[in-house]
Chain A
Amino acid sequence: SYELTQPPSVSVSLGQMARITCSGEGLAKKYAYWYQQKPGQFPVLVIYKDSERPSGIPERFYGSSAGTIVTLTISGVQAEDEADYYCSSTDSSGTLVVFGGGTKLTVL
């Protein structure tokens, strides 16, 4: 089965840079997507097609890809960025969606 692996937690000081990684064999051939979910809220798409940012998402959110690892970088982290972040992609058939286990970002 297709799996995406994320660190369970990342901590960063206010105003510093946060990096959240996601690894999976299929990422070398498939786009990755990133979702932000704050407590009690629905998920929000923050990065699509590895590195594209939807309208309304701050420029401090940046996505990159290198082989089987994709990275979500948040520069100048704000208190409001504290949330769970999930990477996602699709299996080789192109029909089954997979999420990583999620990373809890804590802003110190």
Chain B
Amino acid sequence: EVQLVESGGGLVQPGGSLRLSCAASGFTFSSYDMHWVRRATGKGLEWVSGIGSVGDTYYPGSVKGRFTISRENARNSLYLQMNSLRAGDTAVYYCARGLAAADTLYFDYWGQGTLVTVSS
């Protein structure tokens, strides 16, 4: 059974940093792209970052230069280092397993999410 379990969320002040982790099990982690997606209260889903099975990384403009996605295949773990956090980064952050089809990306398994609150 595929399982994704996020951790590391919490309260952080504006300008601060936080590192999220996602522990994966039930599949060959090293063979899959992995992603982070967030949802702020009252808003919709927003893709935050993705990392390929060989370590290539992708970010939308809203987080590029502030967030860094990484993976440790030996530990079946995915990470998101978040720096220079802003109030607008407050959201539940989900770890998701990625698949690809004809140059499009999608997510077939999701974790339960971890809440990040940026506030003074």
Residues of A in contact with B (beta carbons under 8 Å apart):
1, 30-31, 33, 35, 37, 42-45, 48-49, 54, 84, 86, 88-90, 94-102
In B89-120, which residues have CB < 8 Å from any A CB?
A: 94, 99, 101-108, 110-113
Interface residues of B, dominant DSSP: strand
Interface residue B11 (Cβ < 8 Å from any Cβ of A): no
Interface centre among B37, B104, B107, B111 (most CB of A within 10 A): B104
Interface residue B58 (Cβ < 8 Å from any Cβ of A): yes
**Cβ of A101 and Cβ of B105 under 8 Å apart?**
no
Binary contact track B1-35/A, C-beta < 8 Å → 1, others 0: 00000000000000000000000000000000001
Task: Give CA–CA (A1, B60) in the complex, Å.
Answer: 10
**Cβ of A37 and Cβ of B104 under 8 Å apart?**
no
Which of the 9-residue segments B42-50, B70-78, B79-87 touches chain A?
A: B42-50
B31, chain A: closest CB distance, angstroms:
19
B-side contacts of A84, CB under 8 Å: 44
**Cβ of B47 and Cβ of A37 under 8 Å apart?**
no
A24, chain B: closest CB distance, angstroms:
12
- A90-B113 in contact given A42-B94, A102-B44, A102-B45 (Cβ < 8 Å): no
18 A-B residue pairs with Cβ-Cβ distance under 8 Å, sorted by A, are: A31-B104, A35-B107, A37-B39, A42-B94, A43-B37, A43-B110, A45-B108, A48-B99, A48-B101, A84-B44, A86-B44, A88-B106, A89-B104, A95-B58, A95-B105, A96-B58, A97-B105, A99-B46
Closest chain B residue, CB of each to CB of A44: B110
B101, chain A: closest CB distance, angstroms:
5
A44, chain B: closest CB distance, angstroms:
7
B7, chain A: closest CB distance, angstroms:
15
Closest chain A residue, CB of each to CB of B59: A96
**Cβ of B94 and Cβ of A48 under 8 Å apart?**
no
**Cβ of A90 and Cβ of B94 under 8 Å apart?**
no
- A97-B103 in contact given A35-B45, A43-B94 (Cβ < 8 Å): no
**Cβ of A48 and Cβ of B103 under 8 Å apart?**
no
**Cβ of B44 and Cβ of A101 under 8 Å apart?**
yes
